[in-house]
Structure 1
Amino acid sequence: MVFKKLFLMGAVVVWLAAAQTALAFDFNLKGSLGEGGHKTYVPPVSNPLFNETPYITTELRPIWIRQGVPGTVAGLPVDGTIDVIALQARVALTERLGFIATKDGYANLDFDNTLTDDEGFVNIAFGFKYALINRPEDEGILTIGIEYEAPSGNLIEGTTGTRLQGGRSKGFLDFFVTGAKRFGKLGLQSNIGLNQAMDTDVDTSLFHAGAHADFEIHQRFFPFVEGNVYTVVNDANRTPPVLSTVEGADLVNLGASNAGTVATVAGGFRYHLLEHILLGWSYEVPMSGREDLFNWRSTLDMVIYY
């Protein structure tokens, strides 16, 4: 609990320092949402690591993820849950350029069988994104970005000796393209990207894609549906044979040698608690034949933006 509090305090301090630096250099902290900018902001909820919004914003986003693990994984009885608390941060430097820190947090792995319980920090990822096309008059935006994920985590699956984060890894570079367009009350967003392992013998490289569609019921309430796909494009050789076909999607990288594709679908809502505070929730399940560690997931977040 002490580590969780220190982590959250540290994340807030870093965000405040970045925001203060932006103010000192007269940056545009409102980004895409400033005067003459986009009027409606409904960021995705599910897959918070890779499903990056194209809008350039200054915000804090606390997140709680609870994921159910299938009863059987790679033919072994497992079952259980994975809980993650995290705090994302974004700082708009101009109306087109933003700093992002989208992966961090503390995870608790609670398995009923076979695998050993553990808790610890996940990796930290940070980078930049830039809006190539920014047309607020048409409610359209297209953004590219890059993030570096440092091998800073310390989760280890004790039964197999598999290090879920950090260790011999050299980290990842994530390249992505994300866009959004509103048609009145209907909002559409999508993204594609490549999470490229810096050491392909240790970590798997992953193609990821996401889609989001929301509809404004009234000024504050936006129900949505989302879909996510994770496809391994480069196998690694870190996991023991018993887990060679299992990967961790967006939460952890297992370095599997024979993994495949997991696709999910999510439904939920965003609600404007206040003018600059958004509450979000989604419930997500696999829609592919593969589940790996993904049986179901509930994601709850709050977006506090400038």
Structure 2
Amino acid sequence: MCADSCLPKLDSFAKKLGCGGCIQKSDRCFDDFISPMIDFVHFEDPRNVTELRPIFMHHRFPKQLGPGNVPAGGSLQLFALQFRIALTKRLSLIAVKDGYAIDSSEGALDGLLDSGWADVTAGLKYNLIRNVKSGTLLSAGFTYEIPMGSEQTLQAVGDGEFHFFATGGQRFLDGNAHVLSSVGFQMPVDQSVQSTTVHWNNHIDVRCHDKVYLFTENSWWHWTDDADTGSAFGVSGLDLLNLGDTAVEGNDVVTQNVGLKLKPKRNMELGMAYEFPLTDFEDIIRDRWTFDAIVRY
């Protein structure tokens, strides 16, 4: 059984950086868990970790947008890099959105969207419950999306937005199965130009080999308020964009993914997942491939 000595501590690497104690090691008592992949901007790992996580995503748009069946289509590719830094035994700094998007959209989106830089989103996460014996985790936190991306990529809208979240995890079958779940509220600073949403994400995995995990995840989005100004396509943008649409209030979309993760070492993860909508309403997702790599300290 994992002991308290597994909690994050400084070592010579952090000292060489001159951080004076600002970087802690990842919590090793939950190394049997894997990080979620769906809605990667908002579905936060409940563990306290220090890591780098490059992400590549290939996202295809529906051929028609919203109830008006506006012609669309094409795709978008995103190259991103997340990082998390454990500042104390329970507090961590998280940066969950950045990167460069390559636009290959068609139809109405081709006139709105172009390649460019994504906004930068960062915040804090605090571990509220950490029970090594039962394998239970619960954390809460917030992020702020800084409107500093490329306007042609439909970033830098309004005054940014806050995301408040809670995320938890539970170990089953002696560490061979895990469930993660998170809920969040996405609130723009200027609600007249961006929509407001709540969302709920879930993950279940099974370890079928010491180094191989199979998993599936789902994500539910509900729009509680639309923007006062903007387009009227009836779509908003999920985790990629916030289009400021004036006709999205009351919309719901549910997506599902299936994926595989390889853990070649205790502190490394390589993952891939294929995501698709379950609801008739698709917002801006026809389907999506996501690939990630995680290296933890």
Give me the TM-score of the superposition, normalised by structure 2.
0.88
Confirm or deny that 1:225 pairs with 2:220.
no
Matched, 1:129 2:87: no
Task: Decide whether the 8 Å contact of 2:31 with 2:266 is kept in 1.
Answer: no
**Structure 2: distance between partners of 1:72 and 1:27:** 49
Query: Could you tell me which residue of structure 2 aligns to residue 62 of structure 1?
Result: 54
Q: Please say if 1:281 is aligned against 2:277.
A: no
Report the Cα offset of residue 72 of structure 1.
Answer: 1.2
CA offsets per residue over residues 157-198 of structure 1, 9 Å max, x none? 7xxxxxx2114x111111000000101211000000101110
| Identity across matched positions, percent | 31
Change (3 A) 1:124 1:214: same
1:51 counterpart SS class: coil
Aligned to 2:19: 24
Q: Is the 8 A contact 1:31 1:94 kept in 2?
A: no
Is the 1:50–1:250 Cα contact (8 Å) retained in structure 2?
yes
Aligned equivalent of 2:238, options 249, 254, 257: 249
Matched, 1:44 2:28: no
C-alpha contact (below 8 Å) 2:164/2:185 kept by paired residues: yes
Q: Partner residue of 2:10?
A: none
Q: Specify every segment of 5 or more residues in structure 1 that has no aligned partner in the other structure, as ranges.
A: 1-18, 158-163
Q: Which one is further off, 52-61 or 108-117?
A: 108-117
Alignment of 1:147-162 (within 5 A): 147-156=143-152
User: Structure 1 runs of 4+ off > 3 angstroms?
Assistant: 19-23
Q: Summarize the Cα distance change of 1:20–1:69 in structure 2 as closer, same or farther, 3 Å threshold.
A: farther
Distance in 2 of aligned mates of 1:70 and 1:298: 15
Residue 138 in structure 1 maps to residue 128 in structure 2: no
- Return the alpha-carbon distance in structure 2 between the equivalents of residues 78 and 20 of structure 1: 52
Show structure 2 runs of 5+ residues with no match: 1-13
Contact 2:26 2:296 in 1 (8 A): no
How far the C-alpha of 1:246 sits from its partner, in A, is 1.1
Q: How many residues align?
A: 276
Superimposed CA distance per residue, residues 132-158 of structure 1 (whole angstroms, 9 cap, x where no aligned partner): 10111221110001111111111427x
Cα gap change, 1:222 to 1:257, in 2 (>3 Å): same
**Per-residue deviation at 1:90?**
0.3
How many Å apart are 1:22 and its aligned residue? Answer: 8.1
- Distance in 2 of aligned mates of 1:20 and 1:91: 15
1:112 paired to 2:106: yes
- 2:84, 2:95 within 8 Å by CA — same for their partners in 1? yes
Name the Cα RMSD after superposition: 1.7
Correspondence 1:262-273 to 2 at 5 A: 262-273=253-264
Check 1:22–1:179 CA distance in 2 against 1; reply closer, same or farther (3 A cut): farther
Shift of 1:23: 6.2
Kindly provide the CA deviation profile for residues 19-74 of structure 1, in whole angstroms up to 9, marking residues without a partner as x. 679863324622422xxx32313001121101110001000000001111111113
Q: Which residue of 1 aligns with 2:64?
A: 72
Asked if the contact 2:271/2:293 (under 8 Å) is kept, the reply is yes
Equivalence for 2:155: 165
The separation in 2 between residues aligned to 1:251 and 1:27, in whole angstroms, is 31
- CA distance in structure 2 between the partners assigned to 1:20 and 1:262 by the alignment: 47
Equivalent pair of 1:129/1:145 in contact (CA under 8 Å): yes
* Residue 301 of structure 1: how far off its partner (Å): 0.3
